[in-house]
Amino acid sequence: MIKRPVIIDCDPGVDDTLAICLAASHPELDIRAINPVAGNVGYESTSQNALRLADLIGIDCRVGRGAEEPLIAPCRTAGAVHGQGGLGGYQLPEAHRDFDVDYAWDILVQEARRAEGALEVIALGPMTNLAIALTRYPELKKLIRKITVMAGSADQGNTNVYAEFNVWVDPHACEIVFQSGIPIAMCGLDGNDSCSMNTEEINGIFQRPCRLSDVIGHVSHFIHQRNTEQWHLPSSTIHDLVTMACFIDPSIATYEPCYVTCETRSSISAGQTVVDLYHVSGKKPNVDVLRRADKERFLQMLREMMDWYTQH
């Protein structure tokens, strides 16, 4: 089996948690590191959640020391959205491992060099770690094969009319990544919505018994209950999970190459991903923007994940 070296950058976070579970059920992924970043909740929680989740699942990887706040923007989190501790109140067992001695950005360049140009990165939170790495180590622009991000939107935001949360937290980091010249796949709010799940799909898949039933059942129930009862939404788009599925199997995704830039200065629309869907800017596309993913194949990947955890 040809293994794909990958680093997961994340801010767990209820949906990050499900995405990491999905990744770990794919042995073709050689998860070199999980790098936490401040985002959904403060760094103390996202980092502990990342460490404990890697331990609980049994992922043999490094857990780096990530950025505790954005590059320039003030530190803002979304505790109300992700519940107490960032996992909807779920308490992961203490980890039996410690954080890596190195920072996330140093791990990125070490693993990129080791993978000799084959390293892929998937970012599920604010892109602060990636931006620091690209700034400190410009060689990474030639060493990272592809970056897949849960970020932005070609339509409206979720934090305000303009901005999706991950980009809103650190718009400067997003712009550094998008202008890096590295192949980027952007799974934004609108594209991910093609895989929104109803109650029957959520319960039918995530409530099945398996080794990780407790945490998967808890966080998926928390997400759907918040979406349907608190926000009165008809279904749940689990954004990091859809992004991870598109990363694992790009054939389920339909992308449109576009020129995308990130607004960093406006006091009104900072954090907006400005997607040139109709190519009116005349600028060369720098990002593959997710337009939709195949929902049936997405759901099948989730069923296979639950099967995996009944046997591993």
Q: Show contacts with Ca ion in window 237-276 (CB under 5 A).
A: 240
Q: How far is the CB of 128 from ligand RIB (least distance, A)?
A: 12
Residues that bind ligand RIB (CB under 6 A): 11, 13, 15-16, 39-40, 124-125, 150, 158, 164-166, 239-240
Q: How far is the CB of 275 from Ca ion (least distance, A)?
A: 20
Per DSSP, the residues of 73-100 read SPP---HHHH-GGGTTT--PPPPSS---
Q: Please tell me whether residue 16 binds Ca ion under the rule CB under 5 A.
A: yes
Find which of Ca ion, ligand RIB, none residue 112 binds, CB within 5 to 8 Å per kind. none
Residue 49 or 264: the one with the smaller Cβ distance to Ca ion is 49
Q: Which one of Ca ion, ligand RIB, none interacts with residue 218, CB within 5 to 8 A by kind?
A: none
Which pair of structure tokens corresponds to residue 237?
């788009």
Q: Which is nearer to ligand RIB, 36 or 39 (CB)?
A: 39
Q: Does the protein bind Ca ion through residue 126 (CB under 5 A)?
A: no
The reply to whether 164 sits near Ca ion by the rule CB under 5 A is no
- Residue among 82, 172, 224, 239 flagged as catalytic: 239
User: Among residues 66 and 143, whose Cβ is nearest to Ca ion?
Assistant: 66
**What is the nearest approach in angstroms of ligand RIB to the Cβ of residue 310?**
26
- Which CA distances in Å does 30 have to 22, 23, 182, 279? 13, 10, 20, 36
Neighbours of 156 (CB within 10 A): 13
Quote the least distance from Cβ 239 to ligand RIB, whole Å: 4
Residue 49 or 259: the one with the smaller Cβ distance to Ca ion is 49
224 is catalytic: no
* Interatomic CA distance for residues 19 and 298, integer angstroms: 12
Distance CA 120, CA 247 (A): 9
User: Nearest distance from residue 48's CB to ligand RIB, in Å?
Assistant: 16
Please state, in angstroms and rounded to a whole number, the distance separating the CA atoms of residues 96 and 128: 27
Instruction: Select 11 or 100, whichever has its Cβ closest to ligand RIB.
Output: 11
**Helix (H), strand (E), coil (C) string for 231-248:** CCCCCECCHHHHHHHHHH
Helix (H) or strand (E) holding 116: none
124 sits near Ca ion (criterion: CB under 5 A):
yes
CA angle 15, 18, 19 (to 5 degrees): 85
Residues 6 or more apart in contact with residue 85 via CB below 8 angstroms: 41, 45, 49, 91
d(CA 110, CA 104): 10
Site for Ca ion in 52-81 (CB under 5 A): none
Number of residues that bind Ca ion (CB under 5 A): 6
Please report, for residues 29, 152, 292, 303, the alpha-carbon distance to residue 210 in angstroms, rounded to integers and kept in the order given: 21, 33, 30, 11
Closest residue to ligand RIB, judged by C-beta, is 165
- Positions touching Ca ion (CB under 5 A) are 11, 13, 16, 124-125, 240
Which residues are known to be catalytic?
239
